[in-house]
Chains A and B, each alone.
Chain A
Amino acid sequence: MDPEGEDAWLRLKQHLEWCDHFALGFIFTDHSKVVHIFRKRLAGIYRARVTRLKTPIPNRPSDLSNKLLPNLIHPPVHQQALQAPCWIDLSMQQGDEWTRARLAFLTRLNEQREPMRRALNRPLVLLLPIAERTRIKKLVPDLWAIRDFSLVTNSWLKPEPARPPAPAQKTTASFPLTDYEHSLIMEWERLQTKKTLDRGFLLAADRALGVSLRTGRYPLASRIASSQEWTARKRLHASGETPEALRDLSVSLDNVGDTAKAMGQWKKAEINFEEGLAIAVLLSGSLPENVDYKGMVDHFQNRLKELAKKGSEQNSFLTYSTS
């Protein structure tokens, strides 16, 4: 994204990081790719935490009022302590039926503001079409009055490069680290030296990995991701196939795959995503009532699809270049 987009992202992230209870944010957007980047980055931040980013996407317009609304006002007991944001993207669905359902949902949410505020102990981010920005004050005045932040997106994407990245991409240039980011890397190094198998190491590695990927330090990211995977496997071996140990391993495989993908190592990425998918299927089958595990299956399937698309783009590029 361009600097303006990055600035908006940092402010959004900061708002959410400083929320330790209910907070309400509005994002008005017609830029699906920008939203995708924001959501992906947020999901990355919350991936290794106990509570992941919730992105309930209703399948049908009627689900907004019949399923999503009751879930926000009366969240299940096990969700009431969760603090990861709830990200409800209502900006992209087209058609009169969706528009009517969205307006009805928002109106009822406005009426139920106080019950929701009492029950929902985490930030709620509502994404709405830009066209609704001008009438949101009239539509949901009670919600609008208690907003913590609002954001209007723009075309913040930099133009796509004309050529796909070379297979063995080497990045030498990287962004400077802030003191805080540096401390995250140092903490990973400290724990790495201790050879600890504590779960805290996985979390420290996840934070350091996020920094190294974000700042373009790919070789470092690769070492961090490998150390996380190694530790997750050791923990699994020690504790047996508990859901937590399996989930931790799948997170680390996702990270190894992500890093490999960023470095253009498609095959390595594919192997790790496939193993992650196998674990997700196993967890989802064993504990079907846990929607998080179903989300994991979807996640890995999407990763593999993206990879296949990248691979085919590159093959066609190579075929074109050598013909």
Chain B
Amino acid sequence: MYTVPPYLTTLAHNLGRSLGGHPITQWPNIHVRNIKNNPDPGGLALMESIIEKRFPDWQKIIPQEFLSQMAQSSGGDLRDFFRLIRECVISLRTARFARPDALLDKPIVDRVIRQLCNELLPIAYEDAEWLARIHKTKQAALHSDRDLPALARFLDSNLIMNYLNGEPWYDIHPLLIEEIKEIMRGNDTGDGNST
């Protein structure tokens, strides 16, 4: 079994045949949002079931609305999803040192999501332009093979994510949507070289 990054198929067409004849299977992010960027209840339920199988009493710690918020913020990326949950649980536990009856609340969840967002930043203006194009077209929007290293960097850094329902499509990390808009707006008003 070979695992290859998703951009390799662009670099080496018919790679499956070279590696033994079997087609390459895509392993996309979980479909927590549709192509119009609206939440997908099916994908969100799947994310919930992943937690349910590990810890059936999860609702005693994480209210359902927060789990759903974290699933959406992760864009269906399981590592980000678990990072958000882990950080929330740890923040709750440390809050309970001072207040033993503390519950997971919105400020904690928002801080943890903000922290994940900060880990994706900063974005150079040139990258922001391309990411905005991907967000709009839902395509990798490669002008030529020369752009492939940059696309690989986006995928490696989780700035863009790939999904599959029928046709594969790309979108930027959901936590970047507002940031990218902000950068593009900043440039429109002439003060946004980079952030």
Q: In the complex the two chains form, what is the Cα distance from A206 to B119 in whole Å?
A: 37
Q: In the complex the two chains form, what is the Cα distance from A141 to B119 in whole Å?
A: 12
Q: In the complex the two chains form, what is the Cα distance from A149 to B94 in whole Å?
A: 15
Chain B: interface size category: 10 to 19
Please give, as numbers and ranges, the residues of chain A lying within 8 Å of B86 by CB-CB distance: 15, 148-149
- Distance in Å: Cβ of A215 to nearest Cβ of chain B: 11
Please give, as numbers and ranges, the residues of chain A lying within 8 Å of B83 by CB-CB distance: 147-149
Q: In the complex the two chains form, what is the Cα distance from A148 to B119 in whole Å?
A: 13
Q: Mark A146-172, 1 if CB is under 8 A from B, else 0.
A: 111110000000000000000000000
B90 touches A144 (CB 8 A): no
Interface residues of B: mostly helix, strand, loop or mixed? helix
- Distance in Å: Cβ of B68 to nearest Cβ of chain A: 23
In the complex, residue of chain A having the shortest beta-carbon distance to the beta carbon of B79: A145
Please give, as numbers and ranges, the residues of chain B lying within 8 Å of A178 by CB-CB distance: 96-97, 100
B97 touches A137 (CB 8 A): no
In the assembled complex, B29 has its CB within 8 A of some CB on chain A: no
In the assembled complex, A1 has its CB within 8 A of some CB on chain B: no
In the assembled complex, A179 has its CB within 8 A of some CB on chain B: yes
Question: Which of B82-108 touch A at CB < 8 Å?
Answer: 83, 86-87, 90-91, 93-94, 96-97, 100
In the assembled complex, A321 has its CB within 8 A of some CB on chain B: no
Question: Which of B155-191 touch A at CB < 8 Å?
Answer: 156-158
Q: In the complex the two chains form, what is the Cα distance from A18 to B79 in whole Å?
A: 17
The 7 closest A-B pairs by CB, nearest first: A141-B156, A137-B157, A10-B94, A14-B90, A178-B97, A11-B90, A11-B94
Instruction: Enumerate chain B interface residues (CB-CB to A < 8 A).
Output: 79, 83, 86-87, 90-91, 93-94, 96-97, 100, 119-120, 122, 153, 156-158
A138 touches B153 (CB 8 A): yes
Q: Taking each of B120, B153, B156, which has the highest tally of chain A beta carbons within 10 Å of its own beta carbon?
A: B156
Q: In the complex the two chains form, what is the Cα distance from A277 to B121 in whole Å?
A: 48
Please give, as numbers and ranges, the residues of chain B lying within 8 Å of A179 by CB-CB distance: 100
Q: In the complex the two chains form, what is the Cα distance from A138 to B158 in whole Å?
A: 11
Q: Mark A1-27, 1 if CB is under 8 A from B, else 0.
A: 000000100110011001000000000
B79 touches A14 (CB 8 A): no
- Distance in Å: Cβ of B79 to nearest Cβ of chain A: 6
Please give, as numbers and ranges, the residues of chain B lying within 8 Å of A144 by CB-CB distance: 157
